[in-house]
Amino acid sequence: MTDATTTETRKFEAEVAQVLHLVTHSLYSHKEIFLRELISNASDACDKLRFEAIAKPELLSGAGELHIDVSWDKDARTITIADTGIGMSRDEVVANIGSIASSGTRRFLEALGSEQKADARLIGQFGVGFYSAFVVADRVTVLTRRAGDAPDAGVKWESDGRGEYTLESATLDQRGTTVVLHLKADEDEFLDGWKLRALVRKYSDHVAFPIRMPKEAAAAGEDEEKTDEAPQWETANDASALWTRPKSEITDEEYQNFYKSLGHDFNDAAAWSHNRVEGSQSFTTLLYLPSQPPFDLMMGGRDERKGLKLYIKRVFIMDAAEELLPNYLRFVRGVVDADDLPLNVSREILQHNRQLERIRGACVKRVLDLVEKLSRDEPDTFAAFIKAFGNTLKEGIVEDHANRERIAKLLRFASTRGEGEAQTVSLDDYVGRMAEGQDAIWYVTADGYRAAAGSPQLEAFRARGIEVLLMSDRIDEWMLGHLREYAGKPLRHVAKGELPLDEAEKAKQAEASQAAAPLLERIKGLLGERVEDVRVSARLTDSPACLALSEYEMAPHLARLLREAGQDVPGGKPVLEVNPRHPLLQRLLGEHDDARAADLAHLLLEQAELAAGAPLPDPAAFVQRMNRLLAG
Ligand code: ADP
Ligand code: MG
C-alpha cells in the first residue's frame, strides 16, 4: 500500500513515454478529439460507478447524480473535464495512467511509430485515449478520489508529458475525477464556449450522462469579469441512451455518431440493425457493421473493449463481445440491452446463461441478416464490406456449423470467369452457371492470385469451359477443409483426384497413358526417390508438367507456410503429371545422353513444384541444371 501522504515524482513506463512522445509530436489533424476521449473516460467512470453501486448503493451518496462537467477559463487558459464517476485511488492512478493499461499501447506504437504525421482520431482505437490530452496541453492535472474513500484520500497527478509525473495526496470534497488541461500556446481556439459546445454535440451527444457546461453570459465580453457566484450549468448533450428510443425518431446521422463514439472509429458504419424483442425475454440490440477494419482485426486478437457492450436495463454491465458474438463476427460493434438478466451477473454466470445464449443466437442472426440485406440492396457497400471482412467471415465456416451455408452464400471468390482479382463471384453465381453434367464446384488454391490464376492444372478446365474458383488467402485452405459441399455440390481442388472425363475422353486418356508407358518409365527411373509416381495428365494442355494431389493432401504452398512457421507437416513424395504431347517431353523421349535426360526430368518436376508454391529441395542444383540446358 502506498503511503498516501507523500509527494513523489515518478517516471512513466517506457512505452507510455513513447506514446506521449508520439502524441505530442505526430498527431496533428483532428486535435479536438481529446475532448471526446476525456468525456468518454468520464462516461466510462460513471458507468463503472453505477455498476458497482448495484451491490453497494452507498457509493452513490454524496455527489448526487452522475454527470460530466466541461468548463474553460480564458485567463488561466485551461479546460476542465470533471466527472462524478468511480474515481481512482492512488494505486489505480499509477496503474491506469502511469503505466500500460492495455495491450493497445504497443499496437499503437507499432501502427503509428513510423508515421511522421498521424491523425489524432486514431488514438481512441488503441485504448490510450487519456494521452490525447497532451495533443493540446503541455501540462495536465488530474484530481481524483475513488467513490467510497474519505475526502483526504484524494490524489493529485500532474505531468508535462515529458517522461515524468508527480503524485501527491489531496483532500477533495467530491468523489470522481477532474482533468485540467493547461493548453499549449497555440491552442487558444479551444477556449471558446461555442467551439466546445459544438464539439460536445458532434462527438459526445449520445453519451448517456448529462454533459453540463456553464451557461454563457448573454453578452460575452462585457460580463466577463468573474463573480463569486457558482456558475449556472446547462446540459449540452442529448444524454439519452440512443438505443432506447424508437427507430423512427433516430436520424441516420445520430446512428452514425453513436457508432463513431462506440467504436472509437472515425469512418461511418457500413450498416446497422436496431431491434427490440418483446416477449418472455425482452431485449434490444443495436448492431453495426464497420466499413473499415480496425488495426487488430487480422492479428488474431480481439479487443474486448471494442465489440459489444452489454447493458441490463440501461445500466452498463460489461464489454461482452465474447459472450454475445462468435469470434468470426468480432468486427461487429454495438449494444445489447437486456431486461431480464440479473443485474449482479458476472462473466462466469454469463458464459453459462440460457437467456444469454438466446440473445447470442439473435445477435448472430441479425448480423447475418444485415450482411445479406447489404448484398441484395447495396452492392457497392457490400463489395467494400466483404473486401474488408470477408476473410474474417470465412472463419465462420469452421466455427459456426449451424450457419455454414448462410455464411458460404455471402463469401466472394476470384474466378477464372472474372477479369482480375477484384471481380469476384459468389457460390450461387457459380452453381447457377455450372455446365450440363458438371458435378462439382472446382477450385484451386495458391499463395497469391497470380499463382492461382496461372496454375497449370487449370488448363483442362479452361479447354472445357469449366469455371474454377481461384483461392489465394491463407485462410482458404483451412476453410475449404470444412466446406465440403455447397448447394448439394461437392467442392473439389483441381489438382486432386480424377478429372470429370466422359467415356470418349477416358478412352483417349487410357490410350495416351499406354502410348507413353516407356516415357513414364524413363522419367520414373531418372527421378527415382524424388517422386511417388509419374502419370499422364488429363489436366494439362499447354504446360509440360504439374503436381497432382491426393484427396486429403495439403496444398504444397500451405505445407511450406506451415513448415516455415515451425509446424510439423507430414510430407509425402509428390505425384508428377506430364503432358506427353509437349515438345519438352518429346525431347526427353528422344534424348540419348542420360545426363541431359536427367536434367530435363528434374526440371519438369521442379517447375511443377515451383508453380504449386512448393519449396525446391535444392535451389542451387535447379539453377545449375537450368543453365546447363540453356547453354547446351
Ligand atoms: P481506455 O479508456 O481505453 O481504457 P484511456 O487511456 O482513455 O484508455 O484511459 C486509461 C485508464 O485510465 C482507463 O481505463 C481508466 O481506468 C482510467 N481513467 C481515465 N480517465 C478516468 C476517469 N475520468 N475516471 C476514472 N478512471 C479514469
Ligand atoms: Mg478512454
Q: Using a 6 Å cutoff on CB, does residue 68 contact ligand 1?
A: no
Contact 101, 95 (CB under 8 A): yes
> Which numbered ligand comes closest to the C-alpha of 133?
1
Strand partners, 575: 533, 548
Question: What CATH code is carried by the domain that includes residue 463?
Answer: 3.40.50.11260
- The domain total for the chain is 4
Question: What CATH code is carried by the domain that includes residue 249?
Answer: 3.30.230.80
* pLDDT score for 189: 95
Instruction: Give the end-to-end CA distance of the chain in Å, rounded to a whole number.
Output: 82
Do 191 and 253 lie in one domain? The reply is no
- Among candidates 489, 368, 385, which has minimal Cα distance to 428? 489
Q: Is pLDDT at 467 greater than 60 in this prediction?
A: yes
Do 313 and 458 lie in one domain? The reply is no
632: which residues sit within 8 A by CB, 6+ positions away?
596
Gap from CA of 79 to ligand 1 centroid (Å): 18
Q: Is pLDDT at 221 greater than 70 in this prediction?
A: no
Average per-residue pLDDT for the chain: 89
Do 362 and 486 lie in one domain? The reply is no
386 domain-assigned: no
> Which numbered ligand comes closest to the C-alpha of 305?
1
Q: Using a 6 Å cutoff on CB, does residue 88 contact ligand 1?
A: yes
- Nine-digit cell string for 600: 530435363
- Residue 41 Cα: closest atom of ligand 1: 20
Exposed e or buried b for every residue in 562-584, given b needs 16+ CB within 10 A? eeeeeeeeeeeebbbbbbbebeb
Q: What is the pLDDT of residues 364-388, one digit of tens each?
A: 999 999 999 999 999 999 999 999 9
Gap from CA of 153 to ligand 2 centroid (Å): 24
* pLDDT score for 303: 56
- Lookup result for grid cell 508454391: 613
Question: What CATH code is carried by the domain that includes residue 131?
Answer: 3.30.565.10
Gap from CA of 11 to ligand 1 centroid (Å): 19
The whole-angstrom separation of Cα 408 and Cα 393 is: 9
Q: Using a 6 Å cutoff on CB, does residue 42 contact ligand 1?
A: yes
Q: Pick the residue whose CA is nearest to atom 20 on ligand 1.
A: 41
Gap from CA of 119 to ligand 1 centroid (Å): 21
Q: Is pLDDT at 117 greater than 70 in this prediction?
A: no
- Residue 37 Cα: closest atom of ligand 1: 7
Do 16 and 81 lie in one domain? The reply is yes
89: which residues sit within 8 A by CB, 6+ positions away?
146, 149, 153, 155
Contact 496, 548 (CB under 8 A): yes
Strands 211-214 vs 233-235: parallel, antiparallel or unpaired = antiparallel
398 domain-assigned: no
* pLDDT score for 448: 92
Reported as a pLDDT band with limits 50, 70 and 90, residue 227 is low
Do 187 and 333 lie in one domain? The reply is no
Q: Pick the residue whose CA is nearest to atom 18 on ligand 1.
A: 41
* pLDDT score for 1: 47
Q: Which long-range contacts (CB under 8 A, 24 or more apart) does 51-54 make?
A: 51/315, 51/316, 51/317, 51/318, 52/86, 52/147, 54/315, 54/343, 54/344
Reported as a pLDDT band with limits 50, 70 and 90, residue 507 is very high
Q: Is pLDDT at 154 greater than 80 in this prediction?
A: yes
| Beta strands in 507-572, from DSSP E residues, in sequence order | 533-536, 545-548
* Domain boundaries, position 231: 2-239
Do 51 and 176 lie in one domain? The reply is yes
If DSSP codes are grouped into helix, strand and coil, which group holds residue 30? coil
Do 232 and 248 lie in one domain? The reply is no
- Nine-digit cell string for 176: 470522481
Q: Read off the pLDDT of each residue in 27-48 and give the average, rounded to a whole number.
A: 90
CA 123 to chain centroid? 16
Domain boundary among 215, 239, 263: 239
Gap from CA of 571 to ligand 2 centroid (Å): 50
Domain boundary among 377, 401, 431: 377
Q: Is pLDDT at 153 greater than 50 in this prediction?
A: yes
297 domain-assigned: yes
Q: Using a 6 Å cutoff on CB, does residue 613 contact ligand 1?
A: no
- Nine-digit cell string for 101: 493499461
Q: Pick the residue whose CA is nearest to atom 14 on ligand 1.
A: 96
Do 233 and 248 lie in one domain? The reply is no
- Residue 126 Cα: closest atom of ligand 1: 3
Q: Using a 6 Å cutoff on CB, does residue 161 contact ligand 1?
A: no
Most confident range, picked from 63-67, 211-215, 224-228, 349-353:
211-215
- Lookup result for grid cell 506521449: 20
Do 264 and 338 lie in one domain? The reply is yes
Reported as a pLDDT band with limits 50, 70 and 90, residue 100 is low
Q: Which of 35, 38, 44, 84 to mutate to test the pocket of ligand 1 (most atoms within 8 A of CB)?
A: 44
Question: What CATH code is carried by the domain that includes residue 520?
Answer: 1.20.120.790
393 domain-assigned: no
Measured from the Cβ of residue 311, the count of other Cβ atoms closer than 10 Å reads 23
Q: Read off the pLDDT of each residue in 345-361 and give the average, rounded to a whole number.
A: 86
Gap from CA of 65 to ligand 1 centroid (Å): 20
Q: What is the DSSP string of 329-340?
A: GTT-EEEEEESS
Gap from CA of 125 to ligand 2 centroid (Å): 9
Contact 191, 183 (CB under 8 A): yes
Do 290 and 434 lie in one domain? The reply is no
Q: Pick the residue whose CA is nearest to atom 16 on ligand 1.
A: 96
Exposed e or buried b for every residue in 139-157, given b needs 16+ CB within 10 A? bbbbbbbbbbbeeebbbbb
- Residue 102 Cα: closest atom of ligand 1: 4
Greater confidence, 556 or 326? Answer: 326
Percent helix, percent strand, percent coil in the chain, to nearest 5 = 45, 20, 35
Gap from CA of 141 to ligand 2 centroid (Å): 17
Q: Is pLDDT at 83 greater than 90 in this prediction?
A: yes
Reported as a pLDDT band with limits 50, 70 and 90, residue 532 is very high
- Reported as half-sphere exposure (CB side, CA atoms, 13 A), residue 351 has a value of 3
Contact 298, 392 (CB under 8 A): yes
518 domain-assigned: yes
Please give the radius of gyration of the chain, using alpha carbons only, rounded to the nearest integer.
32
406 domain-assigned: no
Measured from the Cβ of residue 365, the count of other Cβ atoms closer than 10 Å reads 14
* pLDDT score for 606: 96
Q: Pick the residue whose CA is nearest to atom 21 on ligand 1.
A: 41
Q: What is the pLDDT of residues 247-299, one digit of tens each?
A: 999 999 999 999 988 888 889 999 999 999 998 889 999 999 999 887 655 54
Gap from CA of 85 to ligand 1 centroid (Å): 11
Q: Using a 6 Å cutoff on CB, does residue 177 contact ligand 1?
A: yes
Domain boundary among 377, 394, 421: 377
Contact 286, 334 (CB under 8 A): yes
Strands 283-290 vs 269-277: parallel, antiparallel or unpaired = antiparallel
Reported as a pLDDT band with limits 50, 70 and 90, residue 592 is very high
* pLDDT score for 554: 82
Do 356 and 444 lie in one domain? The reply is no
* pLDDT score for 113: 65
Gap from CA of 428 to ligand 1 centroid (Å): 48
389 domain-assigned: no
Contact 545, 605 (CB under 8 A): yes
Q: What is the pLDDT of residues 303-348, one digit of tens each?
A: 555 688 999 988 888 888 888 999 999 999 999 999 988 877 788 8
Do 471 and 534 lie in one domain? The reply is no
Q: Pick the residue whose CA is nearest to atom 19 on ligand 1.
A: 41
48 domain-assigned: yes
Q: What is the pLDDT of residues 474-493, one digit of tens each?
A: 899 889 999 999 999 999 99
